[in-house]
Amino acid sequence: MKLAGNDHLKQVFTLTDNDLLVLSKLLRNNSTQNATLKRLRMTGNKIENKGGMHFASMLQINNTLAELDLSDCDLGTQSVIAFSIVLNNNRSIRSVNVSRPILFSLQEEPTVHMARMLVVNQTLRELHMGKHGMTDSGVERLCEALMQNHTLHYLDLRCNRITRDGAKCLAEVLKQNGTLEILDLASNRIEDEGAVYLSEAIAQPHSKLRALAIPSNSIATVGLVSLTKAMNVNPCLTHIYIWGNRLEEPVCMAFSHLIASRRLLKEHTDVFPYEADGRFYLAEVFHGLRQHYYWTPSSGDRDPACNAALALKTLHSPHLQPS
């Protein structure tokens, strides 16, 4: 396998421990000025804990890799912690995805170590920690670290166990730290109170949040309408995704007005308004931050609105633009 000369490597193989060791050694040698491999995506390869340790060891030497995706790779607690430790010193990685590890402890050790890393690391721009079983306690540790971090733009905490208390902690980060621009909380349970906390933060004039994903969070009218009011106050938030919540008529009317006034572009949300028998409703539209992350259509139009995060994040990381 020749790594130099490739900007983006994405493959799914049946990899043995020896294959992973060889690949990690190749990546160690890919740390010269002439090496061009910047992005490595191993999504779906069951490299498990041992393979994850190989990659963590590689990052101690490699100084060219900018984006590493090890989601759905069956990483273990040990390897996720190893990545957090390595990222204390690595200055090339801008994006890391360690979503859906296999964790057995309820102590949230990986989250605690990632939080410690965020205090020290000032180069990471994007962190994905979906499906970690993260609770409000873990979110609180992350938020304490984010108060001291001024480089992270994209935080992905989808499919965890975050409630209103965790949302309150994140709201405090948005109020005091103007760096975070993309926040993915899809498939948690922040409910109305959590959405109100986020709305209050978004309404602050110094808030720089540009995209918020909160589908399937048990949010009803109070929370969703408060978000529309915050959008009318602060024009910075341009992308919002809400499908899977309780879309009652006041919510439907509020989002209809946002879209009709072009305050919210139809490409920047996952709902579309329609009227029937004098009542407003919202239909689902297949838009999102990363709808086509695991699969992309082999034919036909590829709507960029399905992967809005790609366009949003490359504004701050031009070297990570999709090829």
Residue 23 in this model has a pLDDT that exceeds 50:
yes
Mind listing the pLDDT tens digit for each residue in 304-323? 888 898 888 765 544 444 43
- CA–CA separation, 49 and 79 (whole Å): 6
0.85 cut: is pTM over it?
Answer: yes
Q: Name the band, by pLDDT with cuts 50, 70 and 90, for residue 206.
A: confident
Tell the burial category of 152 from Cβ atoms under 10 Å away from its Cβ (0-12, 13-18, 19+): buried
Q: Name the band, by pLDDT with cuts 50, 70 and 90, for residue 44.
A: confident
Alpha-carbon distances of 42 from 23, 27, 66, 99, 114, rounded to whole Å: 11, 13, 14, 12, 20
Quote the DSSP letter at residue 61. T
Residue 227 in this model has a pLDDT that exceeds 70:
yes
SS3 212: strand
Mind listing the pLDDT tens digit for each residue in 142-193? 999 999 999 999 999 999 999 999 999 999 999 998 899 999 999 999 999 9
Q: Which domains does the chain have, with CATH numbers?
A: 105-315 (3.80.10.10)
